[in-house]
């Protein structure tokens, strides 16, 4: 929309949440509530966006520093009208319209906002509000209409008469104002009410007194405009967001064995014919390819799995990539920008950190590979450790293609095992190993004849 500026109200603490965290920073499906609002409004093309902050203002500003936003600080917090007054230096110089949103209404859709703005433009209204209807309006402010159906005013729940409380149309706290008209009335707001606050809703009545037109668009789905005032409501929003995501995935060809126990954040991508088993968590814009199998109790965060990857039970994969056709797990841990090559196998109780694992390489069990470059067709035996940290610095281990590392070996970084070499089981490797060589680094075995029998006889005498 041309000549549109955006104001998001986000100054409240959220007392009923019983939290020191600002209300709008509580996370919904892995993302702060307010980011959903910003994303819903972005396609409208606002020329600028300002967020009114108050409680823990610095914390909110830091959390949103990655977004192109301006900020106004409301201190003290004296109501929604006061918040708009505080931000007047942002919106008043602008021509056109001001869209006012609440930072705690994360399910609001772009489509609903577009419908509201379209009505505002076509009706040439001074103000357009978004309302909805509830069977039980409870504590919400009521929309009072005139005989012709025009909006006359909005009355807050605590200030409503018995007759007004019977109305089922409620105010959602979302408005679009003509900037020139809002500027004429916002300074006239009064705190003569039960809360001793300046209500933005009173601007509607003030505009009506000037014979200005006020229109309203009814949001058909009340869930979309529901706010969040308690942990109970936050959990319900979480359920709704995740359910919508899973339904979309299933419509796109993903098998979800048990949607009630599967958790996929909205920004995650999953390819067709992938199967998600119960208790799978996919987070932080992870990308899962086609024909993957993700078994129970797996968490994948900020990672990419290419096509045909199998992740067996109880694995954690974070900030990593697993290439086509590989298998991970069970009980494996990949982290810190690890890359696993094609057709590789990472088995049970293997931890890999900040390492590259080549195609067709196997680390089947009980190993730690940190800060390593491991080539193709390598066999990493059980109990292998790359000793990458000396207490001061991290060093790299390089294992070239075709190497065989015997079980229970330690590779003391920095060290390179060259192409085709063998490491004997139980070796501690401190020096580079040449191509095709066999490295043996273990103590000489000594057998003491009859030692065990003599030991047992001695114990019996004791």
Give the residue numbers annotated as catalytic, written as ranges.
Answer: 365
**Distance in angstroms (rounded) separating the CA atoms of residues 137 and 116:** 21
**Distance in angstroms (rounded) separating the CA atoms of residues 28 and 267:** 12
Longest dimension (CA), the chain: 111
**Distance in angstroms (rounded) separating the CA atoms of residues 24 and 32:** 6
Residue whose C-alpha is closest to residue 132's, from 122, 121, 141: 141
**Distance in angstroms (rounded) separating the CA atoms of residues 56 and 22:** 6
Residue whose C-alpha is closest to residue 433's, from 400, 386, 388: 400
**Distance in angstroms (rounded) separating the CA atoms of residues 277 and 259:** 9
CB 276 within 8 A of CB 254: yes
**Distance in angstroms (rounded) separating the CA atoms of residues 201 and 174:** 10
φ/ψ bin of 329: left (φ > 0), alpha (ψ from -120 to 50), beta (otherwise): left
- Name the percent of the chain in helix, strand, coil, to the closest 5: 25, 30, 45
Residue whose C-alpha is closest to residue 11's, from 49, 52, 50, 71: 52
Grouping H, G, I as helix, E, B as strand and the rest as coil, residue 335 is strand
**Distance in angstroms (rounded) separating the CA atoms of residues 225 and 102:** 10
Residue 95, φ and ψ in degrees, nearest 5: -90, 160
- CA-CA-CA-CA torsion sign (238, 244, 250, 254): negative
């Amino acid at each position: 929309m041309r000549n549109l500026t955006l104001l998001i109200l986000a100054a409240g603490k959220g007392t009923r949440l019983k939290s020191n965290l600002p209300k709008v920073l509580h996370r919904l499906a892995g993302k702060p509530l307010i980011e959903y609002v910003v994303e819903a409004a972005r396609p409208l093309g606002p020329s600028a966006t300002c967020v009114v902050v108050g409680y823990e203002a610095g914390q909110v500003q830091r959390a949103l520093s990655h977004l192109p936003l301006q900020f106004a600080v409301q201190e003290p917090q004296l109501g929604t009208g006061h918040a708009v007054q505080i931000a007047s230096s942002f919106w008043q110089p602008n021509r056109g319209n001001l869209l006012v949103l609440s930072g705690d209404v994360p399910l609001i859709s772009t489509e609903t906002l577009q419908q509201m703005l379209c009505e505002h433009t076509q009706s040439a209204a001074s103000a357009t509000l978004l309302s909805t209807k509830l069977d039980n309006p409870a504590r919400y402010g009521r929309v009072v209409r005139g005989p012709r159906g025009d909006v006359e005013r909005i009355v807050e729940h605590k200030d409503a008469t018995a007759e007004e409380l019977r109305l089922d149309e409620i105010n959602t706290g979302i408005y679009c104002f003509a900037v020139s008209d809002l500027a004429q009335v916002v300074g006239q707001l009064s705190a003569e009410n039960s809360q001793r606050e300046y209500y933005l809703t009173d601007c509607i009545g003030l505009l009506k007194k000037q014979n200005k037109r006020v229109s309203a668009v009814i949001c058909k789905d009340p869930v979309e405009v529901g706010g969040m005032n308690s942990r109970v409501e936050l959990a319900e929003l979480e359920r709704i967001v995740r359910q919508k995501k899973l339904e979309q995935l299933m419509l796109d060809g993903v098998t979800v064995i048990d949607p009630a126990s599967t958790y996929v954040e909205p920004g995650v991508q999953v390819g067709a014919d992938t199967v998600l088993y119960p208790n799978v968590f996919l987070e932080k814009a992870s990308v899962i390819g086609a024909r993957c199998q993700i078994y129970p109790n797996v968490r994948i965060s900020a990672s990419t799995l290419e096509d045909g990857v199998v992740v067996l039970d109880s694995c954690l994969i974070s900030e990593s990539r697993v290439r086509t056709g590989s298998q991970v797990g069970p009980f494996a841990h990949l982290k810190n920008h690890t890359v696993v090559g094609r057709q590789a196998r990472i088995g049970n109780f293997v931890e890999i950190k900040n390492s590259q694992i080549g195609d067709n390489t196997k680390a089947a069990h009980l190993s730690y590979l940190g800060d390593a470059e491991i080539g193709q067709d390598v066999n990493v035996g059980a109990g292998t450790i790359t000793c990458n940290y000396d207490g001061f610095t991290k060093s790299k281990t390089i294992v070239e293609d075709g190497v065989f590392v015997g079980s229970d070996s330690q590779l003391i970084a920095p060290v390179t095992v060259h192409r085709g070499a063998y490491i004997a089981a139980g070796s501690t490797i401190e020096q580079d190993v040449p191509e095709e060589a066999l490295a043996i680094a273990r103590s000489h075995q000594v057998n003491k004849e009859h030692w065990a029998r003599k030991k047992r006889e001695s114990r019996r005498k004791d």
